[in-house]
Amino acid sequence: MRRHRDQVRMSTPDPTDVHPAWLPDEAWRAIGVRRILVCGEGTLVDTVQAEVERAADRYGGTARRNPTEAGLPPADLVLALTDALPPDSSPATEPGPPETLTATATATTTAVATATAQLATATAQLGESLGVEGFALARHAGVTVVLADAPAGLLYGLFELVRLGEAAFGPTHPVRVHRPVMARRMLDHWDNVDVHPVMGQVERGYAGGSIFWHDGRPRGDVARVTAYARLLAACGINAVSVNNVNVHATEARLLTERLDDVVDLADLLRPYAIRVHLAVTFAAPMVLGGLPTADPLDQAVRDWWAETTARVYARIPDFGGYLVKADSEGQPGPFSYGRDHADGANLLAEALAPYGGVVHWRAFVYNHRQDWRDRSTDRARAAYDHFAPLDGRFRDNVIVQVKHGPIDFQTREPVSPVIAAMPGTRLAVEFQVTQEYTGQQKHVCYLAPWWSEILRFAPWGDDGRTVADVAADGGGLVAVSNVGDDEFWTGHPLAQANLYAFGRLCWNPRLRPQEVLDEWIDLTFAPDARVDPELLRRTLHEIMDDSWRTYERYTAPLGVGFMVRPGHHYGPDVDGYEYTPWGTYHFADRDGVGVDRTRATGTGFTGQYPPPWSEQYESIDTCPDELLLFFHHVPYGHLLHCGSTVIQHIYDTHFEGVREVEAMCRRWEWLARLVDPAVHARVTERLAEQVRCAREWCDQVNAYFHRKSGIPDAHGRALH
């Protein structure tokens, strides 16, 4: 252990040693050719300085730090903390000199003064300051100026410049203020320290091993963790939980005797403004502390958490907090003591409160020992039934973390009704960047359009607040990470776009998915004289923009979900989960398919929504087609709003989905000479599997429903 820690400290991390994903060197050219001035102090300002120095060394610019006694030196780019500017950079009364590519010291001073004055006006108008993460960007007199009140803002301002490239050095423009919509932008790693006998090194990981852990030990790959932190900062993520929410024996000890391992990760992530969180077991006082109970109301248990948490903060002063999966899929929790989830969450919150830490308490609680014959128990109801009655009972530093849908990250689900049911609780909405149910990083499936739909959904109707508003006012957004030790980080190189997009949608949930994809394409695929950038961009859009809907077309139909192979969840198995205890049924028989979740005749789940959705989902006439089978059991001949019958829709969409994947393959071939050969080869290999698998889905789903219903395809295509 000691040796490992010394190794970590001694090595100099170079984040550019690994595959650059969306930060290739070329992305830094526009910055690197300029004379840059960085003003301010602190770890994050040092990071900004190191980044611009590296860029300037590569591309021939210069990077200086802080004003001299004579004032601001001439610069083309100034990145400054507002309190680090000399007092004489006061608001300019005269307009600056004409634009020039090589600004003089006067021009630099004028530009900074103008930007400072405009920022003061802008924040006065907004009635808010830049905050700890915001920044302002302006261009005057041939000088680009980034101002921030706090170091994290400067870091995010730098990455905005990277995104803009040469456009950051174009025409004059007044201050533009940027602030994140979500204060909390977090990734959860389901990484195990030990290799789990069933789940492996990373639970639901599709990109090789863990970047943090290897076979019971820290992986010790300083360069990769640093590069990861840098990539995350560049898309706006500011918190990472470093171990699986299913906390096994070794992982539990990260909280106590293996805390050094967490300290090392915190040290590597901190320079990029990322706070470390830890998933802990609710039974920790027993398994680690030797107490006879973990009862949240027991004083000795409370003391144990308080002392243990104090030790964590003594080593990691900016520790983010705990993440807990309790009373879920076999994890221990407060139910064992006759307590509820508010009792459980408040116990940990009390221990974290003195240090400003938070507990992320997951609402993913349901009965996974169900009997398929019992139609009254509905897994979709579970989170609401457990948590909504507790609204108002959670401490301020509890964040109840709710999966975006009521079941489990399916390709299509309604928005979880819990999001509208707990106005007195801070809620975080949880997404799954790792593609457990969306093709496991073997299939192209750009998920931003799906997440964007969810974030824009208005649970109280069109005039009301959106899911994004609820998260922004509460605990922000969280997602399960999709990276591993794979050469391209995410197995499928195009799956990097999902990670990038998640960060960007946290920063601004109103960004359009296509525009986020544009950003990712421009950053990731470095310009090359031989490459037609428009062809590359257009083709990637053609492949990726609609790929989530394509995936939906060839998998489980009309929102019914699952139909995957049990256990690993890859590939089709229509009845795979139908008679299991997991509560994920479709109830297909010879007459019809779907789950009746109405109040009138079903499980009553529709009643968990406020109007208008409680009514809209209840009625078969107003339920959206894409969620029909989630809410209703209907005959195969039922006519959808789109004009097709349910059975014909199943046939048509499955054939269509396969055709679309075949087209993706042809399009990708066109890019053979336009992208890095290694990336091209990897995507080609994955697309071949996607086509194979899409055909298998199509065959199995269509054959299954043909046999059940006995209804032939209206277009006479072969069904088995």
- The residue whose two tokens read 């170079």 is 14
Strand pairing class (321-324; 275-279): parallel
Rounded Cα–Cα distance for residues 246 and 36 (Å): 46
Least distance in angstroms from the C-beta of 200 to ligand GCV: 11
203: contact with ligand GCV by CB under 6 A: yes
Q: Alpha-carbon distance 586 to 563, whole Å?
A: 8
CB burial string 257-268: b at 16+ within 10 A, e below? ebbebbbbbbbb
CB of 364 to ligand GCV, least distance (A): 5
Indicate the residue among 198 and 600 with the shorter CB distance to ligand GCV: 198
Separation CA 3–CA 1 (nearest Å)? 5
> DSSP character for 82?
G
Q: Could you say which residues in the range 668-707 bind ligand GCV, by CB under 6 A?
A: none
Residue 404 interacts with ligand GCV (CB under 6 A): yes or no: no
The residues that are catalytic are: 329, 408, 436
The residue among 169 and 562 lying less far from ligand GCV, judged by its C-beta, is: 562
For ligand GCV, the binding residues in 58-117 under the rule CB under 6 A are none
**How far is it, in rounded angstroms, from Cα 275 to Cα 319?**
6
Query: Measured from the CB atom, is 403 or 597 closer to ligand GCV?
Result: 403
CB atoms near residue 249 (< 10 Å): 11
* Percent helix, strand and coil across the chain, each to the nearest 5: 45, 15, 45
x/- letters, 361..400, toward ligand GCV (CB under 6 A): ---x------------------------------------
C-alpha 376: how far from its chain's center? 34
The DSSP 8-state label assigned to residue 257 in this structure reads T
Q: Decide whether 58 or 368 has the Cβ nearer to ligand GCV.
A: 368
Containing 307, the helix (H) or strand (E) segment is: helix 299-315
Pick from 21, 56, 103, 245 the residue near ligand GCV by CB under 6 A.
Answer: 245
Q: Which two tokens mark 385? A: 């039934």
Cβ proximity to ligand GCV: between 45 and 323 the closer is 323
Amino acid at 401: Q
Strand order through the sheet with 135-140 = 62-65, 35-39, 77-81, 143-148, 135-140, 173-178
User: x/- site string to ligand GCV, residues 488 to 527, per CB under 6 A?
Assistant: ----------------------------------------
Residue 14 CB, shortest distance to ligand GCV, in Å, is 33
As a residue count, the chain comes to: 720
196 burial level (CB within 10 Å; 0-12, 13-18, 19+): middle
Cβ at position 206, least distance to ligand GCV in Å:
12
Instruction: Check the CA dihedral 610-615-618-621 and report its sign.
Output: negative
Looking at the Cβ atoms of 190 and 551, the one nearer to ligand GCV is 190
Q: Which is nearer to ligand GCV, 414 or 592 (CB)?
A: 414
Nearer to ligand GCV, 46 or 578 (CB): 578
Does 190 interact with ligand GCV (rule: CB under 6 A)? yes
- CA proximity to 606, closest of 592, 624, 581: 624
Residue from 243, 246, 438, 524 touching ligand GCV (CB under 6 A): that is: 246
* Residue whose CB is less far from ligand GCV, 378 or 408: 408
Among 295, 340, 408, 486, binds ligand GCV (CB under 6 A): 408
CB of 24 to ligand GCV, least distance (A): 33
**Minimum distance, C-beta of residue 265 to ligand GCV, in the bound complex (Å):** 20
Burial class from Cβ neighbours inside 10 Å (0-12, 13-18, 19+) for residue 515 reads: exposed
Q: Compute the least distance from the CB of residue 177 to ligand GCV, in Å.
A: 37
Give strand ranges (E) for 568-632: 592-593
**Alpha helix (H) ranges present in 23-142?**
29-32, 43-59, 105-126
Is 340 a binding residue for ligand GCV by CB under 6 A? The answer is no
Task: Please identify, using beta-carbon distances, which residue of 365 and 683 lies nearer to ligand GCV.
Answer: 365
Say if residue 512 is exposed, middle or buried (CB neighbours under 10 Å; 0-12, 13-18, 19+).
Answer: exposed
Cα-to-chain-centroid distance, residue 193 = 22
Among positions 54, 189, 270, 325, the unique one binding ligand GCV when judged by CB under 6 A: 325
| Residue (148 or 564) nearer to ligand GCV, CB | 564
**Size, binding site for ligand GCV by CB under 6 A:** 8
* C-alpha distances out from residue 632 to 390, 618, 637, Å: 29, 8, 14
- Scored b (16 or more CB within 10 A) or e, 363-377 reads bbbbeeebebeeeee
CA 217 – CA 652 distance, rounded (Å): 50
Identity (one letter) of the amino acid at 519? E
Closest distance of CB 286 from ligand GCV, Å: 21
Smallest separation, CB 649 to ligand GCV (Å): 28
Task: State which H helix or E strand residue 660 sits in.
Answer: helix 646-670
Residues that bind ligand GCV (CB under 6 A): 190, 203-204, 245-246, 325, 364, 408
